[in-house]
Amino acid sequence: MSSSLLEQLIEAFRVLPGVGQKTAQRMAYHMLEREREGGRRLALALGEAVDKIGNCDRCRDFSENARCATCTSGSRDRQLLCVVESPADRLAIEQATGFRGLYFVLQGRLSPLDGIGPRELGLDQLSARMAEGEVQELIIATNPTVEGEATAHYLAQLARQHRVKPSRLTHGVPLGGELEYVDRGTLSHAFGSRSEMPQ
């Protein structure tokens, strides 16, 4: 027996993080009762975004073009490369700090139990980028979680293989925290006081 359109709509909302059955139901009813035009705009925007947003071939951030605006900008310091776990982390750093270097977005973190290894994070691409000789400092801005720390350690070793100085965000970012949820002042301080990682 096929589900009704209303049930399908409620199930569709449940793909969003943190949205359970009740919240999805509330969203679906609200849209149908008061926001049908907004629902049409949402459906159009979702369709366009899913079809047209891919990843930058240089930094792996979300982009509508083969290369994102940050990577093509002539005003960025190409000697500084900041590695983050997600596009949300990149945006948090961009909004909270005066960082003018470039980024590399892992789209995750090392997690062997989940089948996420160096290849899934594009580390061969990152290694090739450091081999070009332009990058002088690799700023490792992975989240201070167990997997984030393991990823940071791996990235530091990779940087040293290419004679690139690895540094890590320090003070202010709580252990077990997620960069996306750290306030701007704390993140700005942590970014400004980064230190070289020990061997």
Any idea what the CATH number is for the domain that residue 111 is in?
A: 3.40.1360.10
Residue 12 belongs to a domain: yes
CB burial readout 109-133, b (16+ within 10 A) else e: bbeeeeebebeebbbeebeebbeee
Is 42 in the same domain as 80? no
- CATH number where 29 lies: 1.10.8.420
For 108, other C-beta atoms within 10 Å of its C-beta total 15
Digit-coded pLDDT (tens) for 35-64: 999 999 999 999 999 999 999 999 999 999
Tell me how far apart the alpha carbons of residues 118 and 112 are, in angstroms, rounded to a whole number: 9
150: exposed, middle or buried (Cβ count in 10 Å: 0-12, 13-18, 19+):
middle
Is 66 in the same domain as 114? yes
pLDDT above 70 covers what percent of the chain?
Answer: 94
Which domain, by its residues, includes 18? 5-52
Is 70 in the same domain as 120? yes
**Per-residue pLDDT at 190:** 75
Is 131 in the same domain as 169? yes
Is 150 in the same domain as 108? yes
Residue 80 belongs to a domain: yes
Check whether 6 has a pLDDT greater than 70.
yes
Is 39 in the same domain as 70? no
What pTM did the predictor assign? 0.79
Digit-coded pLDDT (tens) for 81-130: 999 999 999 999 999 888 999 999 999 999 988 889 999 999 999 999 99
Residue 57 belongs to a domain: no
The kind and range of the H/E element at 159 are helix 146-161
Is 97 in the same domain as 145? yes
Number of domains observed in the structure of the chain: 2
Is 21 in the same domain as 67? no
Is 36 in the same domain as 70? no
**Per-residue pLDDT at 180:** 82
Residue 150 belongs to a domain: yes
